[in-house]
Amino acid sequence: MDVLVKKFISFERKCDMIETVKGKIRMKFPIWGRFRSVFAVALMFVMAFCLTGCDLFDPNGKGHGNGDKPSDLLYEAIAEEDFLRAEGELVKNKKGETVILRGVNAGGLFVTENWMNGFRYLNATEDSPQVRDFRSISKVFNDRFGLAKTQDLWKAYQENWWSDIDFENCAAMGMNCIRLPFTYMTVDFDTVESYDNAGDYDFSMLDAFIQNAASYGMYTILDMHGAYGSQNGQDHSGEEMDNVTEVGFYTDQRMIGLTVDLWSALAEHYKDEPAVAGYDILNEPGEKAGLTTENHFAVFDKIYDAIREKDKDHIVIFESCWDGKDLPMPSRYGWENCMYSFHHYTSMSSGGQFTQHGQSWNEKIEGITKMNFGVPIYMGEFNNYNDPEQWTYVLELLNRLGWHWTSWTYKLNNTWGNSAWGIYLVIVERESDKVNARTDDYETILKKFSLLKTTEQTQKVDLGGRTLEDIMKEYCSAPMQTPLDAGEYKFYDSVTGHVLFADGTIPQLTVDRNAGQSVRVTYHSFGDGSVYLSMNGRYFTVAREGIRLGQESTASRFFPVQTEYGYAFVSCETCRYLRFDDAGRLHADGVTLDDSAIFITER
């Protein structure tokens, strides 16, 4: 696989990409990366020397330069030594290095959701059922155009929805992982018409995606978004059902068997592929967004056993609907080399609810960490809507915890305008511009598909003057943080050098270093990274007028945040930073890291 690339781009673009390379070095090689070696970056550019072509759906594609967008960055391709395994709560490659997976979902590529992929929802008529998911769209196409032309239509859609420019965009943001949602129909298309046709697998489209992502230095997580018969009855499984009683997957031995057989074949096919980070065996497995319980775990176990018969080495990913309590301890089933995945979408999507959004995330984190599963934790899907503060709070939180994450989603096609459901937007001005699977002729559908392509002019989500792309670039490339050790410290303000002391019940700064008092840092037992801060046996407590010292029963929790100069602290109650006012008193309402109190600690 040819992975060295050199093309000409603007100076500004080049500088952005150099920063991304440094970030990727820090993420993949955290110890060496802290030196931020300019030499390493320069060496990479000197080594870049070739131009290659790429076709996403050519399994022999080389992964660069299909003419959509210029590139001037050397990407270190995934190699055999990058093969990942779960070791305790960490993910490590064959070199023994810890790897944190950060990236995005390739939503809509292989399984459509009409609301985000440019298709019209069509109600049932006397002559036709509803058209609302991948399977029903495919059936209509089959009926109207025949199998060959239907497959050509989907190929055109997929090649426009995701091409070389999209791999490069992800890599340029510093991502090292893409979660790839697919369904059984992606590899077993004949089953669109009948499950009797199952078993004639074609993995070429998955192969091409994995190889091209790997050439840009990115792993792929294979995410079965839709099992045979649908594991959840949602449109994003490829088969939507009207109510929960129709979702019979977990008692349907035939559908379970077909799904187990498919995972067995996938494991056999990819067992030696280092660019596959893991197997996400069932997306959102609860019926119509219900909770996961024993009947789900039994199916998980069957799939796990089938995978392990073929593949002992890849990470197997188990998803909860929705919280920590909704997954078993892995030892109960003998699951090894595995990862637990969670999704989180808050109800605070309208903006102006920053604290409530942050508290929802804090509760989610707390509920998962206190289970102490002993395996790597992966936030496989989430969105923080159009609030840039929500994005920075959550991504910083996930990075601080050392969790793996992929946001939902990369690209959006809708009539809403600017929306952070995608990092990039293809705007449809009118509902009639979306594909009508029943009435649009073949050429019209192809034309509408051609408008889905990402170009240099594709709109980026703007979150009040800052793009989501820029936020992703910052947090995908951020180095792993070093936790603050529990213990006794003197806290010095990094700006003034003044030391913290207690004036009665009020912690504040003093110029008298001899008057400085020790702050005790104690980690909360939940293991979510939160701490108590106390002085003289009295605890920091968030109050309306500022931080006060109170009893243990009123103690507030804080998250330490490592910075270049020291540690900042985020209140778990306000989701804001501790900051000093002009009088040197602490408040828990700092909006950004720039206006927060940064403490230099001294034992």
> Which are the contacts of 305, defined by CB distance < 8 A and separation ≥ 6?
none
Per-residue pLDDT at 366 exceeds 50: yes
Separation CA 239–CA 298 (nearest Å): 22
The pLDDT tens digits for 554-573 are 999 999 999 999 999 999 99
Beta strands at 586-590 and 577-580: parallel, antiparallel or unpaired:
antiparallel
Is residue 4 situated within a structural domain? Answer: no
pLDDT band at 352 (very low <50, low <70, confident <90, very high): confident
What pLDDT shows up at residue 33?
Answer: 32
Of 593, 318, 567, 329, which Cα lies nearest the Cα of 474? Answer: 593
Provide the H-helix boundaries in 3-79.
11-28, 30-33, 38-47
The pLDDT tens digits for 171-186 are 999 999 999 999 999 9
Average pLDDT score over residue span 360-386: 97
Asked whether residue 382 falls in the same domain as residue 251, the answer is yes
Asked whether residue 312 falls in the same domain as residue 182, the answer is yes
131: left (phi over 0), alpha (psi -120 to 50) or beta: beta
Phi, psi of 73 (to 5 degrees): -130, 135
Average pLDDT score over residue span 268-283: 98
Predicted TM-score of the model (pTM): 0.89
The pLDDT tens digits for 414-452 are 877 789 999 999 987 888 889 999 999 999 999 999 999
Separation CA 519–CA 492 (nearest Å): 11
Secondary structure (3-state) at 377: strand
CA-to-CA separations, 487 to 516, 532, 533, 540, in angstroms, rounded: 16, 11, 10, 15
Exposure on the CB side of residue 369, measured as CA atoms within 13 A: 17
Asked whether residue 457 falls in the same domain as residue 507, the answer is no
Is residue 2 situated within a structural domain? Answer: no
Q: Whole-number mean pLDDT of the chain?
A: 89
Per-residue pLDDT at 368 exceeds 90: yes
Omega cis (within 30) before 409: yes
Q: Is the dihedral of CA 262, 263, 267, 268 positive or negative?
A: negative
Burial of 504 (0-12, 13-18, 19+ CB in 10 A): exposed
Beta strands at 411-414 and 424-427: parallel, antiparallel or unpaired:
parallel
Give the whole-number percent of the chain exceeding pLDDT 70: 88
Tokens of 557: 């929790």
108: left (phi over 0), alpha (psi -120 to 50) or beta: left
Beta bridge partners of 425: 412, 459
Domain span at residue 380 reads 11-476
What pLDDT shows up at residue 48?
Answer: 39
What pLDDT shows up at residue 58?
Answer: 56
Per-residue pLDDT at 34 exceeds 70: no
Is residue 312 situated within a structural domain? Answer: yes
Is residue 1 situated within a structural domain? Answer: no
What pLDDT shows up at residue 273?
Answer: 98
Domain end, chosen from 451, 476, 501, is at 476
At position 503, the amino acid (one-letter code) is D
Of 437, 395, 341, 429, which Cα lies nearest the Cα of 561? Answer: 395
Beta strands at 558-562 and 546-550: parallel, antiparallel or unpaired:
unpaired
Separation CA 24–CA 335 (nearest Å): 31
pLDDT band at 188 (very low <50, low <70, confident <90, very high): very high
Is residue 137 situated within a structural domain? Answer: yes
Q: Which residue has the tokens 């890291």?
A: 593
The pLDDT tens digits for 486-524 are 999 999 999 999 999 999 999 999 999 999 999 999 999
Tokens of 65: 């330069």
Element (H, E) at 405: strand 404-407
Per-residue pLDDT at 32 exceeds 60: no
Average pLDDT score over residue span 193-220: 97
Is residue 3 situated within a structural domain? Answer: no
Domain end, chosen from 423, 447, 476, is at 476
pLDDT band at 30 (very low <50, low <70, confident <90, very high): very low
What pLDDT shows up at residue 61?
Answer: 43
Secondary structure (3-state) at 544: coil
What pLDDT shows up at residue 275?
Answer: 98
What pLDDT shows up at residue 428?
Answer: 79
CATH number for the domain harbouring residue 559: 2.80.10.50
Asked whether residue 51 falls in the same domain as residue 136, the answer is yes
Asked whether residue 540 falls in the same domain as residue 582, the answer is yes
For 116-128, letters b (16+ CB in 10 Å) and e give bbbbbebeeeeee
What pLDDT shows up at residue 416?
Answer: 75
Asked whether residue 231 falls in the same domain as residue 283, the answer is yes
CATH number for the domain harbouring residue 451: 3.20.20.80
CA-to-CA separations, 30 to 20, 23, 130, 478, 512, in angstroms, rounded: 14, 10, 51, 10, 38
Separation CA 331–CA 336 (nearest Å): 8
Question: Domain count of the chain?
Answer: 2
Asked whether residue 324 falls in the same domain as residue 408, the answer is yes
Omega cis (within 30) before 162: no
Of 508, 494, 516, 515, which Cα lies nearest the Cα of 581? Answer: 508
Exposure on the CB side of residue 532, measured as CA atoms within 13 A: 18
Asked whether residue 558 falls in the same domain as residue 465, the answer is no
Asked whether residue 101 falls in the same domain as residue 203, the answer is yes
Radius of gyration of the chain (CA): 25
Is residue 200 situated within a structural domain? Answer: yes
The pLDDT tens digits for 139-153 are 999 999 999 999 999
What pLDDT shows up at residue 72?
Answer: 57
Asked whether residue 295 falls in the same domain as residue 397, the answer is yes
Is residue 126 situated within a structural domain? Answer: yes
Asked whether residue 462 falls in the same domain as residue 594, the answer is no
Per-residue pLDDT at 37 exceeds 60: no
Domain end, chosen from 423, 449, 476, is at 476
- Our CA angle for 357, 359, 364, nearest 5°, is 100
Asked whether residue 21 falls in the same domain as residue 45, the answer is yes
Beta strands at 276-280 and 219-226: parallel, antiparallel or unpaired:
parallel
Phi, psi of 381 (to 5 degrees): -145, 140
